[in-house]
Structure 1
Amino acid sequence: MLLPLSLLLSQQILIEVTALPLYQQAMVPTYAYSSIDFYSPLLGGGSMLDDAGDGFGEPLNVIISGLSSPEVLTEDGIINFAKAIGFSEECLGIHLGAPQSANLGDGNGWVNQTIELRQDYGNSEIGTCLETLIGGNHFRVFVQNGADALSGALFLAVSQEEDLEEGHTIIPDGYNIGRDKLASLAVGTTHFDGLTYSTTARNITGLLAAGSVGVNHGIGTDGITTLLTVTIVDDCS
């Protein structure tokens, strides 16, 4: 059921949006309930932390806008875009550990991740096997597609992790570092398998709480979520 406008107006969340690069920041106020980039999970009883299964969660610190090219907002689409920016499916298709879940406030409740993608070190076929051994960046994908908040946006939980010997725990400041590394790879023009992407980024505050309360591994964050808008500008396939 959609929330009544009167309730939404009483729960406005002012979000500050800053254009990248950071030295050219310009504040542009917007309201989560009126956005078609995404809907704030907080307005629908959701959370900006996923459920890691241990009473804590990992921050949903990157959002791929619902205004991106529709082809990007599918499972195959995010996989191809991920390969364009240096990520791929898990080594030999094997996932170690239980999937995490997220409640995006869209009426679907807590839903398991759609897919997990890992840094591929320049080899989209087997490079993620190296990430499994030595660590690196990775992200989980959750889709906001319930009837109460049908944006189509992809919410990503991004983090930089330790190597296999350290049990793939998150490095110090790993949530902020992972987010920033992914954004830096995505912004601008990238391409893979006949598709060329143009990506812009904005930094948003007001969704994630800064600090470490409720955050997995007790690793604090700066409270920033990066919004990516990914547009397919050339299809040579």
Structure 2
Amino acid sequence: MYLNYLVATLYLVAQASALPSVLHRQAVDFVDPRVNGGSLLDNAGSGGGEPLNVIISGLSSPDVLTDSGIVNFAKAIGFSTECLGIHLGDPQSANLGDGNGPQNQTIELRQDYGDPDVGTCLESLIGGNHFRVFRQNGPLAPTGALFLAVSQEEPATESHTIIPDGYDLGRNSFVAGAIGSKSFGGVNYSTIAQNMTNLLPVGSNGVNHGIAIDGIVTLLTVTIE
């Protein structure tokens, strides 16, 4: 009986050691997507890309990096899910260089104008800030970091195109609303920011709608207190 127990134990140990390393989250802020053939411009489906101009660090509190976690954090800083759960338009995709190749956005969240229940219906009508979420979690870079494409858009009458300078303005507004102490649903957040250069190009080359960007990506580290 002891021999059978020993054999079974050794088998379980061997099976555990064979599990892929992707199961273990890489404890870094993020991995530069370009290292493994990715980009910080997503694919907007129109020959250009939207800049992934905000990154929520993989060193943030783990609960922030989940689907429900990013939604709750978004509600704490003035964003919410889309009006009545309806999404118009095709999802955009991004290659974050994590080995998963191009992946569609996880979720899109919109400015809620002070009402997390129906406020995004107003954003859909009159425009405002919004962002798309992409998660870096493939076998080459299992960081869990969230890459956000943030931008200010025109009202529905203008087909929700991006306003002039809308990528930089959208990022700045998002970051200003995120830093410091925020709370929603009984969860308290503390957020710090760091601006980074040399991840995105400067100018309009390859950018959707030909809108020039300043090349800054803001790294946010969000801690649940």
TM-score w.r.t. length of structure 2: 0.88
Aligned to 1:150: 142
Q: Distance in 1 between matches of 2:203 and 2:33?
A: 19
Alignment of 1:29-178 (within 5 A): 36-178=28-170
Give the counterpart of 2:192 among 186, 197, 200. Answer: 200
Q: Distance in 2 between matches of 1:210 and 1:36?
A: 26
**In the alignment, is residue 180 of structure 1 matched against residue 175 of structure 2?**
no
Q: Distance in 2 between matches of 1:174 and 1:56?
A: 15
CA deviation after TM superposition for structure 1 residue 180, in Å? 0.3
CA deviation after TM superposition for structure 1 residue 225, in Å? 0.1
Instruction: Give 1:228's aligned amino acid.
Output: L
Q: Do 2:27 and 2:59's aligned partners in 1 also have CA atoms closer than 8 Å? A: no
Q: Distance in 2 between matches of 1:44 and 1:191?
A: 36
Equivalent residue of 2:71, what SS? Answer: helix
CA deviation after TM superposition for structure 1 residue 80, in Å? 0.1
CA deviation after TM superposition for structure 1 residue 35, in Å? 8.1
Structure number having the greater helix percentage = 2
Instruction: Give 1:70's aligned amino acid.
Output: P
Q: Distance in 2 between matches of 1:97 and 1:89?
A: 15
Q: Distance in 2 between matches of 1:141 and 1:211?
A: 23
Equivalent residue of 2:202, what SS? Answer: coil
Deviations 1:117-176 (A, max 9, x none): 000000000000000000000000000000101111000000000000000000000000
Structure 1 segments (4+ residues) deviating >4 Å: none
CA deviation after TM superposition for structure 1 residue 55, in Å? 1.4
Structure number having the greater strand percentage = 1
Q: Distance in 1 between matches of 2:42 and 2:149?
A: 8
Equivalent residue of 1:183, what SS? Answer: helix
Aligned to 2:210: 218
Equivalent residue of 2:129, what SS? Answer: strand
Ranges in structure 1 where 5+ consecutive residues have no aligned partner: 3-33
Ranges in structure 2 where 5+ consecutive residues have no aligned partner: 1-19
Q: Distance in 1 between matches of 2:150 and 2:135?
A: 15
Percent identity (aligned): 69
